Amino acid sequence: MASGNTINPYPLSTNGHKEVPIQIPRTNNRENTQQASRNQHSHTSSVKKKGVKDFEFGKTLGEGSYSTVVAARDRSNNREYAAKILDKKHIIKEKKVKYVNIEKNTLNKMNHPGIVRLYYTFQDPDSLYFILDQAKNGELLTFIKKLGSFDINCTQFYAAQIISAIEYMHSQGVIHRDLKPENILLDDKMHIKVTDFGTAKILEQNADGEKDDRANSFVGTAEYVSPELLKEKAACKSSDFWALGCIIYQLIAGRPPFKGTNEYMTFQRIVHLDYSFPEGFPPVARDLVQKLLVLNPLERLGSGGQVGIDQLKAHPFFNGIDWDALWQHPAPRLLPYLPPNPQHNDPELRTTTNTYLRKLSGRSGETCSSPIATGLKQNDPFRLESWAGGDDASDKVDPEKFKKLEEQKRTSSQW
């Protein structure tokens, strides 16, 4: 099989080799092989090349509109990766060549703990391969669906990590344009990895030598699309902060703020800022979301370059966050948000012992080993799912505590 170019983006271009863009072959296999060979010889001898034969491919991790992501293992050192495999014929047929090159070029600029890394690209006659970080805990969306919502501590932590990733992307002149829980992965430490840069925009310099802060094409996902994209068909750096507001709302409420019966109705809700907060939404989080979900992108919290980002970080919602040590800090235990109820406001209802969780879920014989211990029924916002660490089998279940929880579930306002 013919191997293509190898990427070494950490650090960028320090060894002086010039990166070869991904080319989508449109010729026969013999010509493909010749082209791949020319690409290979264009690199300096100091860059180690990788190809299909260097990896062992495993189970499917996910599927996109024009790609499949599978587990991959480097045969030389047993290091694990995720391999994004793209079918050449489909890419050409669906006119996705542009997006493939956008993703490769964008990821080449990225070197941040909260953004998925691209290590190698290569090809065979049928497919293109991106070798990426493997985020073993999957999508953030999966955890939102399992818990129903995140408590304030969890929301604060993950929102801070998303902001850190956005800050870095913008410093590199990149707008993501499709931030959403599906495109935020969680690694083995339960830290985020932003992924899917196929619709990202690398900002170019204008005549004055400054980077133009606008991207004039319609991309994104309906529930997270910014109003300026709908009205002016142009996204900007501030558009990523609109998406952040939607994500923070969803982490606490369990659903996006703008959701219509179809895409058109969703868009109408967005341009008219037609959303509401469920009863019990924490005031400090409400204030943050309201300052992010602002129709004018210039007035949106976070806009205005580094000054705006510093103002966003200084919002009271992030009190207690050590921004300098954010990526060294362990992820909090995952707990759902329970709207306050004056009758039952007992912190003991937030137990994280395995025994109590097993009692609630009726699985007294099982041991919790996953990041989330399955609690009560699906879509119940008052389930006690948590990241239960260790075996607390010696703990005894308090019948009064269990009764108190059941009473809280009956009397609390449903979201």
pLDDT digits (tens, 9 = 90+) for 113-136: 999 999 999 999 999 999 999 999
**Is residue 317 domain-shared with residue 205, that is, in the same domain?**
yes
Is 74 in the same domain as 191? no
Helix (H, G, I), strand (E, B) or coil at 74: strand
The lowest-confidence range among 6-20, 114-128, 280-294, 397-411 is 6-20
Pair 381, 319 in one domain: no
pLDDT for residue 397? 45
pLDDT at 76 over 80: yes
Residue 67, helix vs strand vs coil: strand
Output the six-digit token pair for 155.
Answer: 């929301």
Full-model pTM:
0.73
What stretches of 166-307 adopt beta strand conformation (E)? 174-175, 184-186, 192-194, 201-202
Per the model's pLDDT, the better-predicted residue between 378 and 266 turns out to be: 266
User: Mean pLDDT score of the chain, rounded to an integer?
Assistant: 77
DSSP string, 138-191: -BHHHHHHHHSS--HHHHHHHHHHHHHHHHHHHHTTEE----SGGGEEE-TTS-
pLDDT interval class at 407 (50, 70, 90): low
Q: Are residues 106 and 33 in the same domain?
A: yes
Model confidence at 63, pLDDT cuts 50, 70, 90, reads confident
* Residue scoring higher pLDDT (376 or 271): 271
Task: Convert the pLDDT of each residue in 343-355 to its tens digit.
Answer: 444 444 443 333 3
Confidence of residue 177 (pLDDT cuts 50, 70, 90): very high
The band of 328, judged by pLDDT with boundaries at 50, 70 and 90, is very high
Nearest to 200 by CA among 222, 219, 175, 218: 175
Band the pLDDT of 162: cuts 50, 70, 90: very high
User: Does the annotation place 48 within a ligand binding site?
Assistant: no
Residues 148 and 176 reside in one and the same domain: yes
Q: What is the mean pLDDT of residues 391-412?
A: 48
Q: What is the pLDDT of residue 22?
A: 53
Give the pLDDT of residue 90: 92
Angle at the Cα of 65 from the Cα atoms of 59 and 68, rounded to 5 degrees: 20
Is residue 392 part of the annotated active site? The answer reads: no
Predicted confidence band at 66 (pLDDT cuts at 50, 70, 90)?
A: confident
CB-CB neighbours of 409 under 10 Å: 19
Residue 332 clears pLDDT 90, i.e. is over it: yes
The domain in which residue 52 lies consists of 29-132
Of 268, 293, 325, which one is at a domain's C-terminal end? 325
pLDDT above 50: residue 362: no
pLDDT at 9: 33
- Is 53 part of a structural domain of the chain? yes
Structural domain contains residue 396: yes
Structural domain count of the chain = 3
pLDDT band at 399 (very low <50, low <70, confident <90, very high): low
Please say which residue of 132, 164, 192 terminates a domain. Answer: 132
Identified catalytic residue from 124, 133, 151, 178: 178
Among 274, 292, 325, identify where a domain stops.
325
